[in-house]
Structure formats: structure tokens, C-alpha cells
Amino acid sequence: MAEDSQQTEKIVFNDYHDSSFLIFLDFLSNLKFKNNSHWSGSLRMKINAVHVLSEEVKTQYTKAIKEKEELERDGKSSGIESTLLLIKFETMLNSIYSLCDNLAFIGYVLHPKIKRSFNEQRNNIEKYRNLYPEYSEYLDLFACTDWYDTLHTMRSESTHYLPGFIYHSDSGLGVLYRDMEHSSERIEIDNVLSYVNNLIIGINNFLENYGNYHLTHFISDDHKTFHPCGIPHPSGKGFLAGGRVMTLSEYLKKQPGKCIDNFECPNREYCPAYEKKVDR
């Protein structure tokens, strides 16, 4: 939001999302269930964690590749960069698992006849579809999450039992899970970097479909969200805490909404939201 006190043009707000999932998070507090005000923050934090950790894996992959080249050139290396790659990779898996269970819990609250974990919902699509055909469109979301099965196996093994193993493959560095305690499966990923890139694409696609479904079925045009305005205090010390409310309909049209008039805003002459202020 522009905040130049000398301006003559109206303030233009730029705090709108185009992502269906992020818009859903903005309006999630309209849904009435226990601790509903906390879930948006939890999901935002977990999505940020996935993003940060996936980027750390990519950065660490580059370091581990250099270590691999050092070994091939000199016949020796410490191996620490490959160890760190495995640690960061498995930490990322755990962050994705945590995000998925948050998403599944919201789904469970809104579709209360199913179990609350992502793994249960993913593994029982056809069972729930037969029992609760009214949930079919929600269950369709999980039919496109093939990426979760391998992730869940690796995460469960590394969390509860044995870690994976970083190995040198023809295409770079891979990760191997074999002789697992909880599964007879063998998982061999030839290139960690390619796997992570494709995994994040799959997750992002799922999030958009998830957001679009819940926006369509549970958020109404007249549901409201609050956006804060952090306005520098005219004295030069601190900020004035204000904000505006807008409906979903206004949000989607990128309209400013209405100012919550709780102080004398120095930008009021230029703010289109102030013109429609909500008096308290």
C-alpha cells in the first residue's frame, strides 16, 4: 500500500492473492469450528516450512555434488555434505507430512464421517466414496496425490526406524531406502534434486485444487476477511494499527473493502477503503 502523505492519487492496495489456496486461508476463519482462528496461521507456517526446507535441500544438493566431485578427483572426502543432504531431505519430508495432516484435519472437520489423517483419507478413497457419495468431489482431490505414498513410506521409516542412504548415481546423487523395519518396499530415487522439484510441483497442484474446492463449497460471497494496515505514525515513532474488511466478492474483484475507523488515519484523504469506512 502506498503511504506517501504528499500523494494526490488514491492509494492502490496490492495485498490480494491469486492463488485459490491462499484466498481460502484468508477466509478460513469464517468456518465455525474449534480453534478456527489458529488454523490459517498453522497452515501458513507449515507451507513456509516446506518452502524453506525444500530450498535448503536444493542448496545442500549442490554442496554434496561438489563433495562427490572431490571424491572422484582426490579419492577422499569427509562425507559430511551428503550426510547433511540426507538430514535436510528427511526434515523436509517430515514438514510435508505435517502440512498434509493439517490439510486433512480441516477436511475431516468439514466432512466429519471420515478419519482425520491424510494417510487414512488417501488410502480409503473408494471405501469413503461408496459410504459417503456426497464427499466424492472432496475425495477426488486425493486421487491425484500419488506423490504422497512414497513420501509417507520414507518419512515413517526415517522418523520411527532407520534413515535412508545417499548414494552416487549416474545422474548425480540419489537416496535409497532398503531393509526397512516397517515396510518390505525398496525405494530408490535416482536424483534427489529432480525428486524434490517434482514433489513440490505435485504439492502445489494439490494445494490449488484443495483451495478451489473449499472456496467453492464452504466460502460464500458475503464472507469477510480482515487485512491490517501498518501505517507509520506521523510522529515518526511506531505504527498506527488499522485495517479494512472485505467480502470474498470484493476480494476477488480486488476492491478495497471498508476501513475499520478506529483512529484518525493520516492517509484517509487518499484511501478508497476509508470512503466506505465502518464506524465503531
What CA–CA distance (Å, rounded) separates 135 from 117? 16
Q: What is the pLDDT of residue 2?
A: 45
pLDDT in tens, the chain (280 residues): 444 444 457 888 888 999 999 999 999 999 988 888 799 999 999 999 999 999 999 999 999 999 999 888 887 778 999 999 999 999 999 999 999 999 999 999 999 999 999 999 999 999 999 999 999 999 999 999 999 999 999 999 999 999 999 999 999 999 999 999 999 999 999 999 999 999 999 999 999 999 999 999 999 999 999 998 877 777 777 777 788 999 999 999 999 999 887 677 888 888 888 877 765 5
**Following DSSP, what letter does each residue of 211-250 receive, concatenated?**
HHHHHHHH--TT-EEEEEEEEE-TTSSSEEEEEEEEEHHH
Q: What is the pLDDT of residue 262?
A: 66
Angle at alpha carbon of residue 163, lines to 157 and 164, rounded to 5°: 100
What is the DSSP pairing of strand 172-177 with strand 187-189?
antiparallel
Pair 204, 178: CB distance under 8 Å = no
Q: 14 is written with which cell numbers? A: 496490492
Phi and psi torsions of 246, nearest 5°: -150, 150
Residue 130: burial class (beta carbons within 10 Å; 0-12, 13-18, 19+):
exposed
Pair 204, 145: CB distance under 8 Å = no
Q: What is the pLDDT of residue 1?
A: 46
pTM over 0.75: yes
